[in-house]
Chain A
C-alpha cells in the first residue's frame, strides 16, 4: 500500500503535460512524470519517493510512437519493452531489453522509464549508447533533439520539468553484428551481475556495460584496448579490468571478485562471438 496521497493526471498532449508540471511547480508542490509507473509504485510503497502530483505521460501520442520514419527508428518513451522486442524494428535493442525483468513486467516497463530509472542498471541504455542514439526532449516550449550521450552521464541528466519524448536511432545501425549478454546470480530473471552489449561497426568493437560499476557506461579507453589486435585477447581483457571508470560493485548480487571473474568470461564470449581474435 502506498501511504501518501497524490493527484493523478494523464494528459493527452505535450502542451498540457508541460503546463501542468509548471503549474504544480509554481505552487511549490512536487510533480513527477511517470510512463509505465512500475518504479514509482515500488518506490512509493516503501517511501523511497514522494510526489504531490503524478503526471502520466502514456497518454501523449508522441510518447507512443514505434515506427521507421525516413531513415530513423523512432521509439516513444512510453513504449513498453515487450512492444520494442516484438516489433523487431531494432533487434539489438529488442534483444537487450528482453533480458530486463520478466515477461509480464515488460508489458508495463517502458523504455523511457528504464532509461530514467533510479536503479543502477538501466540496461536499455547500453545499445542506445553504442549506436549514437538521439533523444527528443521538451521543456516549456523548447523541443530539442540531442545526442543521448550528451544527456547521459551515469544517469539521465534531465533538468526539472524536462520530459523525454522519443528515442531516435539511425537505421544504418540495424544490420550491424551485435551481441547482448547478461549474467544473473540465479535464474534468468534478476538484476545483472554483469550485462554487456556490443556492436561491430567498421571492424571496431563498441562495448557498453551494466552491473559492473554502479552506473551503466561506455568507455573510449576500454574500446581502444579491446580493439588493439597487437595484444592477445586475454591480456586485453585483463587490461580492461584495470581501466574501469570506477570500482566494481560489491554487494549481495555478487562480490567484487565474483563480478570481476564473470566480467572476464563475458568479455571472452563477446570477443569470440564477434570474431575479435588476434
Chain B
C-alpha cells in the first residue's frame, strides 16, 4: 500500500440495498452525505450529525449504525441497507397501523433500527426494546406509539403465549 501515490478522493463501490453502486467520494465524506448527495437516497435524515439522534440510521452489515459517524470509504465491501431497502418490512406497516408517525422526520431511523431489533430479537423483552430504541430521538415525543408498533410485531412473531410482552397481555 503506497500512501505517497494516494489522494484525498477515491472511486469506491458501495453495496446498497442489494445493488453495487460506483461513486466518487472525498475520503472525508460521511456515509450519510454520500447516500443523500451522491446516490439520491434521502431516507436517512441529516440532523445532529453527531450520533445523538438516530435520524440517519442505516444497517451496515446488518447492524444499526449512525451513517453520520461512518466515512463512506470505511464501509466499502459491507452490505448497507437504508430505509429505501426496507419497502417490505413489516415494521413500516406497523408504524402506519399504530399511528407511530407525527412529523415523520425521525421515522426512517426508527424503522431501520426497529427492523434490526426484530431481526435480531424476534421475541425481545421490554428491556431490550428500551435499550435499542433509546438510540433514536423523536422531537414530537411519539415514543409510546413507536414502542407499540415495535411491540405489536413481537407478539406477531411469537407463537408462545407465555412469552407475550407484559404490556400487550391486557
- Interface residues in chain A, defined as those with a beta carbon under 8 Å from any beta carbon in chain B: 1-11, 16, 20, 23-24, 27, 37-38, 41-42, 44-45, 53-54, 56, 82, 101-105, 107-108, 187-189
* CB<8 Å pairs between A and B, sample of 12: A1-B33, A2-B28, A5-B28, A6-B8, A24-B3, A37-B70, A37-B71, A41-B70, A45-B50, A102-B54, A104-B136, A187-B134
A56 touches B74 (CB 8 A): yes
Q: Are B28 and A102 in contact (CB under 8 A)?
A: no
> Would you call A16 and B1 a contact (CB within 8 A)?
yes
Please name the residue on chain A nearest to B25 by beta carbon: A8
Complex contact A6–B28 (CB within 8 A): yes
Contact A41 B8 (CB under 8 A): no
Residues 120-157 of B at the A interface (beta carbon under 8 Å): 131-132, 134-136
Tell me which residues across on chain A come within 8 A of B8, comparing CB atoms.
5-7
Given A8-B71, A8-B73, A37-B69, answer yes or no on A105-B1 (Cβ-Cβ < 8 Å).
no
Q: Which positions 1-50 of chain B face chain A at CB distance < 8 Å?
A: 1, 3-4, 6-10, 26-30, 33, 49-50
B1 x A20 contact (CB < 8 A): yes
List, in ascending order, chain A residues with CB within 8 A of B71's CB.
8, 37, 41
Task: Determine whether the beta carbon of A41 is less than 8 Å from that of B69.
Answer: yes
Residues of B contacting A: mostly: mixed
A249–B34 alpha-carbon span in the complex (Å): 39
In the complex formed, the residue of B with least CB distance to A23 is B3
Q: Give CA–CA (A16, B2) in the complex, Å.
A: 10
B63 within 8 A of A: yes
Which chain B residues have a beta carbon within 8 Å of chain A's beta carbons?
1, 3-4, 6-10, 26-30, 33, 49-51, 54, 57, 60, 63-66, 68-71, 73-74, 113, 131-132, 134-136
Decide if B6 touches A9 in the complex (CB within 8 Å). Answer: yes
A6 / chain B contacts, CB cutoff of 8 Å: 8, 27-28
> A8-B71, A9-B1, A37-B71 are known contacts; what are 15 more A-B pairs with Cβ within 8 Å?
A1-B30, A2-B28, A5-B28, A7-B6, A8-B74, A11-B1, A20-B3, A27-B4, A45-B49, A53-B3, A102-B51, A102-B134, A103-B134, A104-B54, A108-B51
Once the chains bind, are A9 and B64 in contact (CB under 8 Å)?
no
Q: Shortest beta-carbon distance, B27 to chain A, in Å?
A: 4
Closest-CB distance, B13 to chain A (whole angstroms):
15
Cα of A2 to Cα of B49 in the assembled complex, Å: 11
Task: Tell me the complex Cα distance, A31–B72, Å.
Answer: 19
Which residues of the partner chain B approach A2 to less than 8 Å between Cβ atoms? 28-30
